[in-house]
């Protein structure tokens, strides 16, 4: 890796990955290619904005000309493709944007990489890599007692979001098989940690609890997820880029499967502990069960034996440690939270999704 293009680098996982990459690689150039939609925030990278190895290039992954220009101008040899619409609830209310961004956007990126790397020979083929970041939701939903998903599990997506990501995964594989494009894919479980856009479960619960607002829990709260700290995810992707076999797929998970209600209760208990004088304690009293989302998958579980055996990766964060770290991060970054909440689009979405439940 010398010249790396990170799509969606102003988003939650992308910004954390850029920061991790700059810490881990000294002789590298990182280009952050982001359209700055509602989820993109350059304030998430303010601490490295002056690093001479880092450059921001505003662009849309669906715009062929912008993508081609970025690859040529910066002589890109590695693409790490995070850019995507990622929120299941948003995909239920407006699926078209998910198809356009996740499917057509990935197609545009693949075509640009194929043209520059394979047709024009812009970089030696043995030195290039297209890494695609995907999700465990492409596998569908597990019943109680069913074995965890492996890299060989057939896809069975249940939401428009999951279907759009499954489609993009298939496109990436097809470009490897048909055109010989060097690629890797990682399917990760639910991420959490610093800089997560405050519409997802964990930041919603943290911020609502701090303000004494209801803590919305979908259905009975017994939906089971695998929770992965974003820094562990970044380390895993870096290992795949450095040591992973081209043409391979790797599952990345946090190696834990609590119910959503357990996550909410744990956050409440953490806040009780670190803010014992809060007028909202005990924070569990704020929990409010609300109407479930349509077609809500019941259980996810990731088998991570492959990445552990081949690359020696294991998550470093326990769930309790990771949640404590995350709560403390949001407590110490009120300005970042405020900058997000002031956006009209953010408040409109929160009203649309939660007020009717």
Q: What is the pLDDT of residue 187?
A: 98
Q: What is the pLDDT of residue 115?
A: 98
Q: Of 348 and 27, which is predicted with more confidence?
A: 27
Please determine, for residue 345, whether its predicted confidence score (pLDDT) is greater than 80: no
pLDDT (average), residues 314-328:
97
Q: What is the pLDDT of residue 125?
A: 97
Pick from 84-88, 130-134, 342-346: least confident? 342-346
Beta bridge partners of 184: 131, 248
Q: What is the mean pLDDT of the chain?
A: 95
- Is 96 exposed, middle or buried (CB count within 10 Å of its CB: 0-12, 13-18, 19+)? exposed
pLDDT (average), residues 59-80:
98
Please determine, for residue 2, whether its predicted confidence score (pLDDT) is greater than 80: yes
pLDDT band at residue 344 under the 50/70/90 scheme: low
Please confirm, yes or no, whether 54 is among the known catalytic residues: no
CATH 3.40.50.720 for domain 3-192+228-255+297-317, yes or no, is yes
Distance from C-alpha of 141 to C-alpha of 300, rounded to nearest angstrom:
6
Please determine, for residue 112, whether its predicted confidence score (pLDDT) is greater than 70: yes
* Residue of 77, 136, 231, 301 marked catalytic: 136
Which H or E run contains 351?
helix 344-354
The fraction of the chain above a pLDDT of 70, given in percent, is 99
Q: Of 199 and 97, which is predicted with more confidence?
A: 97
pLDDT band at residue 293 under the 50/70/90 scheme: confident
Q: What is the pLDDT of residue 82?
A: 98
Q: What residues does each domain of the chain span?
A: 3-192+228-255+297-317
* Residue of 34, 85, 137, 226 marked catalytic: 137
Please confirm, yes or no, whether 137 is among the known catalytic residues: yes
* Residue of 116, 161, 192, 300 marked catalytic: 161
């Amino acid at each position: 890796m010398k010249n790396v293009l990170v799509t969606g680098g102003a988003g939650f996982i992308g910004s954390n990955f850029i920061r991790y990459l700059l810490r881990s690689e000294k002789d590298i150039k990182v280009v952050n290619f982001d359209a700055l939609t509602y989820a993109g925030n350059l304030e998430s990278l303010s601490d490295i904005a002056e690093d001479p190895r880092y450059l921001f290039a505003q662009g849309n992954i669906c715009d062929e000309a912008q993508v081609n220009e970025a690859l040529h101008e910066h002589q890109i040899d590695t693409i790490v493709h995070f850019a995507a619409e990622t929120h299941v609830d948003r995909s239920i209310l407006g699926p078209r944007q998910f198809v356009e961004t996740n499917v057509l956007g990935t197609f545009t990126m693949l075509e640009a990489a194929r043209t520059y790397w394979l047709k024009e020979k812009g970089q030696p083929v043995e030195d290039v890599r297209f890494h695609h970041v995907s999700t465990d939701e492409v596998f569908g939903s597990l019943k109680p007692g069913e074995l965890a998903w492996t890299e060989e599990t057939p896809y069975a997506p249940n939401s428009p979001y999951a279907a759009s990501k499954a489609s993009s995964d298939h496109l990436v594989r097809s470009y490897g098989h048909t055109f010989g494009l060097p690629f890797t894919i990682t399917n990760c479980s639910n991420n959490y940690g610093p800089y997560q856009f405050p519409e997802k479960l964990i930041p919603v619960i943290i911020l609502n609890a701090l303000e004494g607002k209801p803590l919305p829990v979908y259905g009975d709260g017994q939906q089971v997820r695998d929770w992965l700290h974003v820094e562990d995810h970044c380390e895993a992707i870096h290992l795949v880029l450095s040591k992973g076999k081209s043409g391979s797929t790797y599952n990345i998970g946090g190696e834990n499967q609590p119910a959503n209600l357990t996550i909410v209760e744990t956050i409440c208990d953490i806040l009780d502990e670190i803010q014992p004088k809060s007028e909202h304690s005990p924070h569990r009293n704020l929990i409010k069960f609300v109407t479930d989302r349509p077609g809500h998958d019941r259980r996810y579980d990731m088998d991570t034996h492959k990445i552990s055996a081949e690359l020696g990766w294991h998550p470093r964060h326990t769930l309790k440690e990771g949640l404590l770290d995350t709560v403390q991060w949001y407590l110490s970054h009120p300005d970042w939270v405020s900058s997000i909440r002031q956006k009209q689009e953010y408040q409109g979405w929160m009203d649309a999704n939660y007020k009717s439940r």
